[in-house]
Structure 1
């Protein structure tokens, strides 16, 4: 046998012997599960101006998106790349009034207003490219936004307190990757 062939054979034999000397594990090794998107993923939050802010409180019961707006007019984009918001998530708006609110996801925009004159809530929805146009909503609709005033004195303009908006049932069914909100406390 020539020298290079003998060297290759010796190295191969050495590798086989070393491989056979590996200890046998006493406990089976199981691969760790890969992470999956969870409802508790932290969303990406951006606002249109520095005097507007939005924060996410996942440990609140229910979880909350909290909006503060010094001027009372603004918008925010919420990205849900890593998961979804837990069912029951609420939006808290620290405003003195709520003349207009919009929630947009997918090709749908839900519009709501709470009249500062008579306290009536009016809601409608608009689907992009739908020839039917804007459609009024009723409280039994899957698109209805439950709006509550949380204040010791619910008279508008609110001196303290905030508005709570529960996301509609369709939002959780649609499970959007992102959505936006817009608000106006009072028309000027």
Structure 2
């Protein structure tokens, strides 16, 4: 149903599990910088798509689908980087802006060995210390806008400033 490939497969792997209308994509990332490409081969996307990255930080994150690119991250201080949307029109012209609606925001959470914290652009409240403790995972849920149209693929690239 979902075909996965990685930009640097010699260092990493990815596995997708689909259960109860949710696709969970677990990435093994030994370098802290990579990209994931996901393509729907049959059927429909599950109602929720979550990518789990075993990272201690997330300096930069890009999500691409259709003619849209979403850019965000979490600085080394733990503060979220403002989210930017870039759109490329049919003529190849590029426009970038801050989103005007929450539907463009991915959910970004840090799962530390002892707790869970929201760390994305719309997150409020207590933030974990960066770098995250060993054994932490960052979960990225695709934004609601991804599901508004019939996209047959998405890609995601990331950089962890605490690379090995």
The structure whose RCO (Cα within 8 Å, separation 6+) is larger is 2
- RMSD of aligned C-alpha atoms? 2.2
Contact map agreement 1:110 1:124 (CA 8 A) in 2: yes
CA distance in 2, matches of 1:176, 1:79: 9
> 1:25 maps to what in 2?
none
Unaligned runs of at least 5 residues, structure 1: 1-41
Mapping of 1:7-156 within 5 angstroms? 42-49=1-8, 50-59=10-19, 62-129=22-89, 133-137=95-99, 140-151=101-112, 152=114, 154-156=128-130
Bigger share in helix: 1
Query: Mind listing any 5+ residue stretches in structure 2 that lack a counterpart?
Result: 116-127
CA distance 1:46–1:136, shift in 2 (3 Å): same
* Displacement of 1:187: 8.1
Q: 1:75 to 1:176 in 2, by over 3 A?
A: same
Consecutive aligned runs of 4 or more in structure 1 exceeding 3 Å deviation: 129-132
If the length of structure 2 is used for normalisation, what is the TM-score? 0.79
